[in-house]
Amino acid sequence: MKRKLIQLGDSSFAITLPNHWIKENRLSKADEVKLTICNNEIIISNKNKKEIKTVTLNLRSKPKKFCWFSISTQYMKGIEELEILCDKDNIEAVKQIVDFLVGAVIISENNYELNVECISEPNENLKEKVLNKLIFKMRNLVEEAVTELLAKGSYEQFKEKDHELNRLFFYCIRALRKQNKIDNQDVLLIQSFENIMDAFEEVVKENINSEKLKDFKTLFKKLTDIYFNPSKKGDLFGIYEFASELKNKCKNKAMKSVFNSVKRTIEIITPALN
């Protein structure tokens, strides 16, 4: 393999490295490589080769809910490889779970044993490209769902869109945990937004048609506006007070839970913006 020298300044030169070698060694921008000079040769090697995390899950005779929790938990922890032991009764359910997770691929299958690799790596521009997209999609889903609920829309319409949101949410948590440079506050913040969506899902499921839905849509839009534009954080106190007032006046348990989740998110987002 040959490479042309690229001149940098008056006395330095650089070369490009093959992309497949970068991926195989799980390297990214700013990582260090080792140069060994031997006569007229320079050997480039991975200075800190990252150990691949492998976990074995014995899911034989386990119900789908248990399989879902076990696999998704390891995925969000950032595990690169999974060896999953299934049986004839749950192997199809396990395959569906793996297929749901962004970047998870079944590499081999033998006698109800699956070898799974998570091939997607977190992007350097994670916040701009992934997190912001997730929050924006959440806001759009809330606005659409409120409109549909007031027009007596169906839960199935909401569920299909929420399914895609959950895929993105799991990937965000995984990526945040793999990028140690990102503060855990980001993880808490994204989880708190997801908690709002989970609480709102119950409202949609119960097909609640209430004027308070419009209030929630307004609250959620203001909350996401602050996420995208922290300069508006002075509005948080007013939003918190409004959410508290709505919760106290609300008689429906599901709607109370929604407003409570909004309050909890504000409690998390306040120090995150400081």
Query: Domain of 42: which CATH number?
Result: 2.10.260
Q: Looking at 118, 140, 171, which one is the last position of a domain?
A: 118
The answer to whether 246 touches 257, Cβ cutoff 8 Å, is no
Query: Domain of 99: which CATH number?
Result: 3.30.1370.110
Q: Are residues 246 and 174 in the same domain?
A: yes
How far apart are alpha carbons 84 and 113 in whole angstroms?
6
Q: Are residues 209 and 269 in the same domain?
A: yes
Q: What is the pLDDT of residue 125?
A: 65
Q: Are residues 240 and 186 in the same domain?
A: yes
Q: Is residue 1 part of a domain?
A: no
Q: Are residues 269 and 143 in the same domain?
A: yes
Identify the DSSP state of 127: I
Which runs of E-coded beta strand occur in the chain? 6-8, 12-14, 33-38, 41-46, 54-58, 81-85, 104-110, 113-118
How far apart are alpha carbons 13 and 10 in whole angstroms?
9
Q: Are residues 153 and 100 in the same domain?
A: no
User: What separation in angstroms does the CA of 117 have from each of 106, 108, 260?
Assistant: 7, 10, 38
Q: Are residues 245 and 189 in the same domain?
A: yes
Identify the DSSP state of 1: -
Q: Are residues 19 and 91 in the same domain?
A: no
Model confidence, pTM: 0.70
Domain range for 85 is: 54-118
Q: Are residues 113 and 224 in the same domain?
A: no
Q: Are residues 149 and 191 in the same domain?
A: yes
Helix, strand, coil shares, percent, the chain, to 5: 60, 15, 25
What is the total count of domains within the chain?
A: 3
Residues 6+ positions from 265 with CB-CB distance below 8 Å: 189, 192, 193, 195, 196, 223
Q: What is the pLDDT along the chain (274 residues), one digit of tens a residue?
A: 777 888 787 778 788 888 877 776 777 777 788 777 766 777 787 766 556 678 999 999 999 999 999 999 999 888 889 999 999 999 999 999 999 998 899 999 998 999 999 876 656 666 667 788 888 999 999 998 888 877 776 788 788 888 888 988 898 888 877 766 455 677 788 889 999 999 999 988 888 777 788 899 999 999 999 888 888 888 889 999 999 999 998 888 999 999 999 999 998 887 755 5
